[in-house]
Amino acid sequence: MGDIQVQTYSVTGMTCSSCVNSIERELNEIAGVSASVNFASETVHILAPADVSPDVIIKKIKAAGYGATLLEDNSDPALHRKGAAGALIWAILFAVPAIAISMVMSWQQPINDWLISTFDSYQIPLPPNAHHLFASWLPLFISAPLIFIVAFPIHRAALRNLFHPTMDTLVSLGSLSAYVWSIYATYTAQGDVYTEVAAGVLLFVILGRFLESRAKKSARSALSTLLALGEKEVAVLRNGTEVLIPISHLIVGDEFVVKPGARIPTDGIVISGQSTVDNSLITGESKPVEITPGMLVIGSALNNNGRILVRATRIGSDTELARITSMVVTAQGAKAPIQALADTIASFFVPIVTVLAIATFEGWYYFGDKSLTYSISTAITVLVIACPCALGLATPVALLVASGRGALRGIVIRHPRVLEASQNIDTVVLDKTGTLTDGAMKVQQVSIPVSAQKVLGSSFTAILTERNILSSALGLESQSNHPVSNAISSYCIARSAEQLPVAEFTETPGVGVAGRVQIREKSPVVIIGSPDSVAHSCIAFDSEISVAIHQAQELSYAVSVLAWDGVALAVFATGDVIKNDAAETIAELHKRNMDVWLLTGDNSEAAIKVGSTVGISPERIIAFAKPEDKLEKIASLQSQGRHVLMVGDGVNDAAALAQADLSIAMGTGTDTAIATADITIMRPQLMSIVDALNLSRTTLRTIKVNLGWAFAYNVIGIPIAVLGLASPMYAAMAMALSSLFVVSNSLRIR
């Protein structure tokens, strides 16, 4: 088999979960094709061999009785559909007069009198029983366009799915039965006329679908917001001049200008300028982020107050926004395991209801001694009141709302299975670097003793200032790409240090950097490196320098010593920063009776220091853990009957993420971790783990309520119809409200 392609199509014309089964059945007949239809988003996701063209897929969908359009670049399916508003307007225009004339008895005689006088004035012969004729035939004529034109898509879909009945089958049978019977009753002047039932059923069905489409549009609003964030044009620099070009013409490496108040067109690195950016719609982080040269920015983030120059690093489908949107679209197209029961029931639902309606007619007419009119009316009520729509909407609409809402809060649900997996989690395993910590080295402590400076002698007195010491450090460290060097450089820049010229620069891996730095008229040899390496080139460390080194090492920080001409002047203690909400998050997990573990490849001292700070007991901390050790530990916990959540960010966490019952990757982590995990958190806060669990549990609870309602409605409603305790028009109203309840209940997740 060749390469597998993933495609998404917008599908029109679906009315219930039976339609889903029909389309999936048709598509899965194609060799090598796996199709998953989402009723709520009205899309179908296809896994197919590369040699299966979109035309083949679209042709198959149309053969099943539905329309289809290939979606590209995660475009919004709503853009490819026509709304139900037009059908509703025409339904109201035709149905309301027909229902009113049929049901308001006091109107019938004046209408008859007016029509009779009109016929007399033109000397048109009147048939017998004219007083009955006009009151019955006029609603039939008025409602005819509704029955045969406005509702034609319903009848067409019912006919196309004759051997695989859907909701359209029930509606079409119910409305046409009532209308044809009304023609017969009017013509023979025998039995009750149900013109208002035929018109009312279609009116309420079309109204229900209109309200349902509005509600589903609201459910899709979060995804639509993401899709609308992308910029259409970008101001790039061409020979020093700003040129406005379409975003599609931008290439990696282009430098572009972002003005205050504008959105950043694509992912990139800041070349010049300072500002704050609002990432809230991408990461869910409400606090503006300060950016300076050298920092990465996310496409579609809002630039607040400064003009910046950015070099594009990722474009098109490679950007962070495109990645998030792709994951959301994929999640919305997948099916949660809990939906399997509803799909199974829906596949048998419509045929069973059709048989039940026939049995109801025969039971009342042949065995219940009821009139033909009553028996037909009761059978029509059974057809109309049954509602597989609610079953089909129960899960996908809730997932649609949850995934969109989560994305706007920086929580990207990649697999619907997380909804059920989240219910049983009792053990949480955390990585350290990049998960409990920021994953970026920062200077934690700096010691510049005055006593050490005195050793250099009076010739250095004029330049021995803290600013010059930091400037000499910046001059050297800016030449290196080592994480510790970057941390020291950032620290010096933040304190207004000057990047001084450096000569004879050398860098020794694992040791440090050295060079001759020009400081006014002096050019001392400056060394920055580990205490042991610098000690070989220096006179004995000053006592304050020694104390600073010892204190930093006790805290498991990386220690760098700066020396001028063999005299140690400063100590930089660099380390990863624990996230400010880490302790609060661990406390919340403990409050929920979850057993929290820390697995890290770092040394024991660093692991215990971080663990004790955030509230993880030492016996739950495992250091020097290799990828296979993490995998083995999670498997061991699972063998004890534990349900494990793994949270990580690195390639070394990927195997453990795959093994866990539920996995969460930090958005700042590697692509491998993100591709493996069930949930990706784009926000820097660790409390997002708790938010993700809350969202999953709320969504599953909503789905269970939806399914409970859908089952209860049919279990109660269908027997009421069979017993003749409801009219067809009330049944149509109940059917519409049933679907609307499911969608509205799902919207509460927002």
Mapped to the 3 state alphabet, what secondary structure does 565-631 carry?
CCEEEEEEEEEEEECCCHHHHHHHHHHCCCEEEEECCCCHHHHHHHHHHHCCCHHHEECCCCHHHHH
Residue 438 appears among annotated catalytic residues:
no
Residue pair 710/394 in contact (Cβ under 8 Å)? The answer is yes
In which residue ranges of the chain is CATH 3.40.1110.10 found? 448-577
In which residue ranges of the chain is CATH 2.70.150.10 found? 251-314
Q: Under 8 Å CB-to-CB from 91, ≥6 apart: which residues?
A: 146, 150, 151, 202, 203, 206, 207
Tens-digit pLDDT profile for residues 582-634 = 999 999 999 999 999 999 887 788 788 888 889 999 999 998 888 888 888 98
Burial class (CB in 10 A: 0-12, 13-18, 19+), 499: middle
Q: Which CATH superfamily is domain 418-438+580-677 in?
A: HAD superfamily/HAD-like (3.40.50.1000)
Tens-digit pLDDT profile for residues 531-575 = 988 888 888 788 889 999 998 888 778 899 999 988 899 999 998
Q: Which of 5-9, 33-37, 261-265, 718-722 has the highest mean pLDDT?
A: 718-722
pLDDT at residue 79, rounded to an integer: 42
In which residue ranges of the chain is CATH 3.40.50.1000 found? 418-438+580-677
Residue 631 structure tokens = 């995998």
Residue 692 pLDDT greater than 70, yes or no: yes
Element of type H or E holding 487? helix 483-494
pLDDT at residue 337, rounded to an integer: 64
Residue 47 pLDDT greater than 70, yes or no: yes
Nearest alpha-carbon partner for 18 in 350, 333, 339:
350
**pTM beyond cutoff 0.85:** no
Helix (H, G, I), strand (E, B) or coil at 428: strand
Q: What gap in Å lies between CA 169 and CA 65, rounded to an integer?
A: 12
The mean pLDDT of the chain is 80
The architecture of the domain spanning 448-577 is: 3-Layer(aba) Sandwich (3.40)
Q: Which of 431, 602, 649, 678 is catalytic?
A: 431
DSSP state for residue 489 in the 8-state scheme:
H
CATH code of domain 251-314: 2.70.150.10
Q: Per-residue confidence at 286, pLDDT binned at 50, 70, 90? A: low
Largest pairwise CA distance in the chain: 129
Q: What gap in Å lies between CA 480 and CA 507, rounded to an integer?
A: 8
Tens-digit pLDDT profile for residues 498-544 = 889 999 899 887 788 999 999 888 888 999 998 988 888 888 788 88
**Who has greater pLDDT, 560 or 710?**
560
In which residue ranges of the chain is CATH 3.30.70.100 found? 4-72
Residue 198 pLDDT greater than 50, yes or no: yes
Nearest alpha-carbon partner for 659 in 436, 429, 437:
429
Tens-digit pLDDT profile for residues 135-162 = 677 788 889 999 999 888 888 877 877 7
CATH code of domain 4-72: 3.30.70.100
DSSP state for residue 459 in the 8-state scheme:
G
